[in-house]
Amino acid sequence: MSSILTNNGAMVALQTLKSVNSSLSETTSAISTGKKVADAKQNAAVWAISKTMESDVNGFKSVKESLSLGESTVAVARNATETVTDLLGQMKERIVAAQGDNVDRTKLQAEVNDLRDQIGSVVGAAQFNGLNLVDGSTASTDVLSSLDRDSSGNVTASSITVTGANLSTGGYSAKDIFSSSGGTPSGNGDTVALSLDAAGGTDQITIAGAASPADDFAAGDKIEIRLGDQTASYTVSADDIGVGINTDEMVAAGLKNSVDNLGIAGMQVDYDPTAAAGQLTFTNNGTADMTVTGSFQNAGSGALANLAAIDVSTAGGATAALGSIEGLITTTIDAAAAFGTVESRIETQNDFVSKLSDSLTSGIGGMVDADMEETSARLQALQVQQQLATQSLSIANQAPQQLLSLFR
């Protein structure tokens, strides 16, 4: 049936042309923007996911900056502690030299003082962007390490905590807390050293911090006993003060427990507060001679504050200094190792975040980027279809003209 009012062929051809033009418009947009999903109208779900991931990638840029800053800060602290360890090793050489009799202890003490001053300079200068992790001014700092998104879309920030070290040489005041029957206290009695022969060598260290009000212990004071290459310690707490018994008794009991926990073969520590308050008796039942040293550190003072008490100008002071320097070297080695560990962790996290950002960027591209080879081929096909659709519409519009021949 033919009609001059309704041209079905033209309608079909027109709809086809409109569809081709719409597809051609989308393809042209993909070529110009490089994206197959450029806005929420094209694919709302994919567009929303891609925008969320893009915001995460932008956030990780800040995370990488934070990690780089943190890594540099920790690297400065690690280098400083390694340098201090080397300087303490040089100081130990002078202390060992002072153990002999025919030496110039005055010159050795001058060298020790110079090394102590150099250590103070290193610790004071070990800052990055104003943050010093080794002078005791910073207990800990958090380095932003990640943004974590859970399945519900909630985002939380993760951090790597860097613990500072107090390697300051300041803040120390000597306290007359140590005495011994056979050992030789140095300075004001803030260090002491014993030499215990194998197979029964014995000697005592007496803790007498409450001898006078000026020598009373304070909460946070730390007392260490070093036996060979192992260290036992006790830190005075607020509960140890004013409990009805002398604080030195609490310290002596705490040190005995700490020494016992080391489990040193052949080392026997006895404490009887009723017979001699604060007195620890050390007996070496082992097969090798043992050196026992004690050192005191004020609350809030730096870990190297005891450097101020090292005095090799006398034979007794040199003996006590040998025990003290070992503990100080161990402290700085531990600090350097801790900084090295956390620096390695930050470096690993920085590499991971960089790779994660690249992976997210690739994922976003896979969802929204246009396949340019496919798009180019599609463009050519649509252009051909557009020409054919236009021709078809032209032919369909000429059909009613053929009806005129029926009326001639």
- Cα 184 → chain centroid: 42
pLDDT of residue 328: 85
Strand 127-128 and strand 178-180: the pairing is unpaired
pLDDT per residue as tens, the chain (408 positions): 666 667 777 788 788 878 877 777 777 777 777 777 777 777 788 788 888 888 888 888 889 999 999 999 999 999 999 999 999 999 999 998 888 888 888 899 899 899 988 988 998 899 998 899 988 888 889 999 888 888 787 888 889 999 988 888 777 776 777 777 654 444 456 778 788 888 888 888 888 754 444 456 788 888 888 888 788 889 888 887 765 567 788 888 899 999 999 999 889 999 988 888 788 999 999 888 888 888 888 877 777 877 877 888 888 778 778 877 888 888 889 999 999 999 999 999 999 988 888 888 888 887 777 767 777 777 788 788 778 878 877 777 777 777 677 776
CA-to-CA separations, 184 to 95, 265, 310, 322, in angstroms, rounded? 16, 25, 14, 12
Which structure tokens are listed for 305? 């504050």
pLDDT of residue 17: 79
pLDDT of residue 186: 44
Report the distance separating Cα 339 and Cα 81, nearest Å: 9
pLDDT of residue 212: 47
Report the distance separating Cα 379 and Cα 30, nearest Å: 10
Domain annotation covers residue 387: no
pLDDT of residue 136: 82
CB within 8 A of 331, min separation 6: which ones?
167, 303, 304
pLDDT of residue 408: 65
Residues 193 and 274 occupy one common structural domain: yes
Residues 158 and 67 occupy one common structural domain: yes
Domain annotation covers residue 222: yes
Residues 64 and 138 occupy one common structural domain: yes
Domain annotation covers residue 128: yes
Least Cα distance to 301 among 275, 328, 330 occurs for 328
Residues 155 and 191 occupy one common structural domain: no
Domain annotation covers residue 187: yes
pTM metric for this prediction: 0.66
211 close to 201: Cβ distance less than 8 angstroms: no
Residue-number span of the structural domain to which 192 is assigned = 178-300
Residues 202 and 158 occupy one common structural domain: no
Domain CATH code at residue 183: 3.30.70.2150
